[in-house]
Amino acid sequence: MKCYMHNDLDVIVQCHGCGKGLCKECADRFEAILCEQCLLSNNVSAKSSAKKSLIIAGVLFILGFNFGLSSSFMAAVIWGYILAGVPLGWKAVNKITPNFILILPIMGWVIFFVYKFVVSAAIGIFMTPFHIKRMINEIKISKTTNEQVAAGKM
């Protein structure tokens, strides 16, 4: 079998995205074993999910900010920050929570929900700075790779 790009070179590995045959040269082009199209489409989805999570954090920050503003500016910033981190913490909690809530009575659900919200907020406080940095990085990386691929430099 010959490479999808170079019909004189033998395939050494298959693209992890679509299974197309890649020669050594193509396989070495990117860090992940992907053909150009798969890399680009991976970038698009990584970038859009990074953007989405930044937007959600931003909206929650504004909500928390407005909520806290009735007491003081400082409280507004803190509330904004705490709320912005809740989705992150929520996801982390989901990973470690078993599905036992399904058998709880309604009151149990409410208590569990409040409890989960508080734990999520607490975890989010620590995760937010790293997460935002990572999301921005991801957007940057996908931008540079796209440019490099377009310029044929990689």
Which residues 2-61 are close enough to bind Zn ion by CB under 5 A? 3, 5-6, 15, 17-18, 20, 23, 25-26, 35, 38
3-state SS, 15-46, equals: CCCCCCEECHHHHHHCCCCCCHHHHHHHHHHH
Structure token digits, residue 93:
């909690």
Which residues 80-109 are close enough to bind Zn ion by CB under 5 A? none
Question: Least distance (Å) from Zn ion to the CB of residue 44?
Answer: 14
Question: Which residue lies nearer to Zn ion by CB, 6 or 116?
Answer: 6
- Alpha carbon distance 64, 84 (integer Å): 8
Question: Least distance (Å) from Zn ion to the CB of residue 152?
Answer: 13
Question: Least distance (Å) from Zn ion to the CB of residue 52?
Answer: 24
Mapped onto helix, strand or coil, the DSSP state of residue 93 is helix
Question: Which residue lies nearer to Zn ion by CB, 23 or 76?
Answer: 23
Question: Which residue lies nearer to Zn ion by CB, 5 or 63?
Answer: 5
Query: Phi/psi class of residue 63: alpha, beta or left (left: φ > 0; alpha: ψ in -120 to 50)?
Result: alpha
Token pair 């996801």 is at which residue? 91
Structure token digits, residue 117:
């919200």
Question: Which residue lies nearer to Zn ion by CB, 20 or 91?
Answer: 20
Interface residues with Zn ion (CB under 5 A)?
A: 3, 5-6, 15, 17-18, 20, 23, 25-26, 35, 38
